[in-house]
Amino acid sequence: MSGSSDAQALSEWVAAVARELGLDEAIGSGTTVDMVLDLTSDVAHGVSRPGAPVTAFLVGVAAGRATDPATAAREYAAKVSELAGTWPDR
């Protein structure tokens, strides 16, 4: 599968899941997807691969509790990415 096919499949999948969960407006543009992919990459490479999806879930739950979830998600993702970048090798 080519990169553009992967990107198209991801875009379609995210749109379908967002509709299913009633999050159409919350997802917005591809910047949200890019943010999550960057966050999970930082965690997977800096902490642990299995920690990446769990971290994305935790950031999503925390952001969902905020008054402005989209802004909170960006802020939390940045904080967690920074934390992952400084996480000591274990």
Backbone angles phi, psi at 29, to 5 degrees: -85, -175
Per-10-residue mean pLDDT, the chain, length 90: 81 90 73 92 96 97 94 96 90
- pLDDT single digits (tens) 71-85: 999 999 999 999 999
The alpha carbons of the chain give a radius of gyration, in whole angstroms, of 14
Could you tell me the residue ranges of all domains in the chain? 28-86
> What was the pLDDT predicted at 48?
96
Taking the CB of residue 72, how many other CB atoms lie within 10 A of it? Answer: 17
- Stated pTM of the model: 0.85
